[in-house]
Amino acid sequence: MHEPALFPPTIQQSLRQLPVIGEQRDITYYALHARSVLNGPGTTGMGFWSINPYTGCAFGCAYCYARYAHRYVMERAASAQHLADATQQDVARIPPWLAFERHILVKRNAAAALARVLRHGSERHAALAQGEGIVIGTATDPYQPAERRFRITRGILEVLAEHAGLSIVIITKSPLVTRDVDVLARIARRSSLAVHLSLITLDRALARRVEPRAPTPESRLRAVTRLRQAGVNVGVNCMPVLPGITDDPRALEALVQRVADAGAVHLGCCSLRLQHEARKRYLPFIAREFPHLAERYERAYANGHSLSQHYRAGLEAYVTRLCRKYGVQFRRYGGESSDSESSSISTEPSASARVAEQLALAL
C-alpha cells in the first residue's frame, strides 16, 4: 500500500530547495549539502586533490578564472528544483559570471563529509598519506567574508588536524586565515603545510579596481608576517600578473621587496590566463576601466587563453632575479621550485634590463 506523503507537495518541494542562510548587501548565501568536498585529480584535471568550502566568491576579482564552475552548480540545482522560483528568476536575470559573486553556496556539511572519506584505512586516506597533496581554495577563496560567520574552512582544518602525514596548501587573499593559527600549528606538527597569500599589487587604489571586495594589500602583508611569526610556512602568489596593469618592472620589484620584508618564504608568479567565462567578465572590465588597453588585450588573447611564450619566459626571468636579490625562493606556476642553478633563462643584469623593457611593452 502506498504511504501518503508526510508533508503536502508544496512543503516537500521547499524542503528540497537550497535555503537562504544569509544576505550581505547584494550577495545571497545558500546552504548546500555536499555529497563530497574532496575532489580528486581525475575529476579536476589537476595533479592534486582539492577542497573548496564554498561555491562562488564574494571578492569579485575581475580576472577570476573559476567562474565557470559556479554556472554548472547553479544549473544542476535549478534542474533538480532545488532553487526557489524567485531565486531561479534572479539567476536567469544576471549573467553566470556575475552570479558567481552574488550567489554563494555554503557547504555546511563539509567537515562531516571530509571526515567520512578520510577515515583511517579508506582508499583516499591511504593515497593522501602516501604524499598526494591537498589544495584548499583552488576555485573560490576559503576565507572570503562568509567564513567569518559560517566557519566552514575552520571545520575542514579541524578534520585535517586529526590526520598525520598529509601535504596541505591553503590559497587565500584574506588575512582572516590568521584567525586559525592555532589549528594551522596543529596541522603543521603532523603534516606538511603551506599558506599562499595572493597579492598582485601594492597599489591600494589599483587593487580596489581589479579586486573590488578583497582585503587591502597592507592587510595581506601583515598576515604574512603574523603567519611567519607563528611558525607557518607562508608564501605569496603574485598571480595573475595583469599585462599593462601590474607588470611594470618597478612595481614588481617593490612587491617582491615588501614580500621579503614581511617574511615570506617563497613567491609564485604567472601571467593572466583568460578562459571562456573569465573572458566574458574581464574584457568588458578592461574596456571600461582601461580603455587604452582594450584593443591590445583583444589582440593578445585572440588565439588562446595565454600570452606568448616570449612574454611568460621574460616575466619568469625577471621575477626569478628579483627573488634572488631579496632572498625569497621563486616557485614556478604549478609549484615547481626554481633555484639559482636550474634556470635556463639568462638573468644577468643587462638581460634583466631588457626583460624589463619587454614587460612594459608586452601587449
What does the pLDDT average to over 329-336? 70
pLDDT given for residue 346 in this prediction: 33
d(CA 61, CA 67): 10
Q: How many Å apart are CA 174 and CA 157, to the nearest integer?
A: 16
Beta bridge partners of 103: 28
- Which residue type is seen at 174? S
For the stretch 204-222, what's the b/e string if a residue is b when 16 or more beta carbons lie within 10 angstroms of its beta carbon?
A: eebbeebbebbbebeebbe
In percent, how much of the chain has pLDDT > 70? 76
| Class of residue 224 by CB neighbours under 10 A (exposed 0-12, middle 13-18, buried 19+) | buried
The residue behind cell 553556496 is: 105
Name the pLDDT band for 215 (thresholds 50, 70, 90). Answer: very high
pLDDT at 131 (0 to 100): 80
For 347-362, what is each residue's pLDDT tens digit? Answer: 343 444 444 444 544 5
Average pLDDT for the chain = 82
The pTM assigned to this predicted structure is: 0.84
What DSSP string describes 243-271? TTTT--HHHHHHHHHHHHHHT-SEEEEEE
**Gap between the Cα atoms of 234 and 252, Å rounded:** 19
Give Cβ neighbours of residue 165 (< 8 Å, ≥ 6 apart): 128, 129, 190, 191
pLDDT in tens, 95-131: 777 888 888 989 999 999 999 988 866 777 777 877 8
Is the model more confident about 162 or about 13? 162
Is residue 143 predicted with pLDDT exceeding 60?
A: yes
Residues 6 or more apart whose CB falls under 8 angstroms from that of 359 comprise 247, 248, 249, 252, 311, 314, 315, 318
Q: What is the pLDDT of residues 148-204, one digit of tens each?
A: 999 999 999 999 999 999 999 999 999 999 999 999 999 999 999 999 999 999 999
Query: What is the pLDDT, as a whole number, of residue 119?
Result: 81
pLDDT score at 206: 98
